[in-house]
Amino acid sequence: MKVMLAEHAGACYGVQRALDIAYEVLDSGQSASTLGPLIHNPQVVADLEARGMKAVDNVADIVGTTAIIRSHGVTPEEHRRLHDACESVVDATCPHVSRAQRGAAELAEAGCRVIVVGEKGHPEVEALVAYAGQNGAKVDVVLSPSEIPEDLYAPIGVVVQTTQTRHNLDAVLSELDRRGLDPILKDTICAATQHRQRSAAELARMVDAMVVIGGRNSSNTTRLAEICAELCPRTYHIESAHELDDADLSESDVVGVTAGASTPEGQISAVVAYLEGR
């Protein structure tokens, strides 16, 4: 069996950075908490927990000396509350997300009516809404042109969830253009997600079976699995190698492997080694 790895696969810069920061904190002997799991990867979260990291839902539940802010950041209010409640706060917000937060804050300072292109309820988007609304501006979250509200007034600002597609942003911008509106744009899309999707699709077209590694609770991994399944019907979304024990790969001479942006390198190499040993 030949195993081929997608050109772009696995932990993105921001996730790897957050993991490195978290392990550094734990290795220094500090106990630490995060608001929500550090990343959407059950195996990694279990390992962090075993080393003393606790994921909590509220600032009030933080235990230990240190709070670690996850890669998709927190609202300014959560930031303040963390600093008030904890001995130390370690900020692992991805620098691309920080840039989006700064962009949202700049739109607020400019007095803009703000549109955030993103998924309602996603923690990164909630934080962008909070930054954009700091001066009392009205903020809406939209994913498609049909969700753009009617009551817009100039100046309008647009900021984008880092993992959004350019297709969604362009559709929103063309609708604003159609309405004769000329927004101030903070183009804060991060290319990591699209690079993973594009290289997964390229590989899925070439192979007999595809293996997509990453948390079932990871939306970017699930999206990768959907893209691969459309192009390669024998696609397996797994969290660890042993889930392939019962997979029928007897007619698969070439197997492609990819992984979501929250899948660390160790999990990918374990699956590749497992496949090569079959």
Catalytic residues: 124
CB of 18 to ligand F3S, least distance (A): 7
Complex with ligand F3S: residue 163 or 258, whichever CB lies closer: 163
Among candidates 260, 256, 273, which has minimal Cα distance to 215? 260
Among candidates 106, 30, 109, which has minimal Cα distance to 67? 30
Among candidates 93, 148, 146, which has minimal Cα distance to 116? 148
What are the residues binding ligand F3S (CB under 6 A)?
12-15, 71, 94, 96-97, 162-163, 190, 192-193, 261
Q: Are 45 and 55 a contacting pair, CB within 8 Å?
A: yes
CB of 138 to ligand F3S, least distance (A): 26
Complex with ligand F3S: residue 14 or 37, whichever CB lies closer: 14
Q: Are 70 and 19 a contacting pair, CB within 8 Å?
A: no
Other CB atoms within 10 A of residue 109 CB = 12
Complex with ligand F3S: residue 93 or 235, whichever CB lies closer: 93
Complex with ligand F3S: residue 168 or 252, whichever CB lies closer: 168
Could you give the CA distance from residue 88 to residue 39 in angstroms, rounded to a whole number? Answer: 21
CB of 24 to ligand F3S, least distance (A): 18
CB of 99 to ligand F3S, least distance (A): 9
- According to DSSP, the residues that pair with 237 across neighbouring strands are 212
Q: Are 70 and 46 a contacting pair, CB within 8 Å?
A: no
Q: Are 91 and 69 a contacting pair, CB within 8 Å?
A: yes
CB of 7 to ligand F3S, least distance (A): 16
Residues 6+ apart with CB under 8 A from 5: 256, 257, 258, 268, 272
Complex with ligand F3S: residue 118 or 183, whichever CB lies closer: 118
Could you give the CA distance from residue 88 to residue 91 in angstroms, rounded to a whole number? Answer: 10
**Which pair of structure tokens corresponds to residue 222?**
């699930």
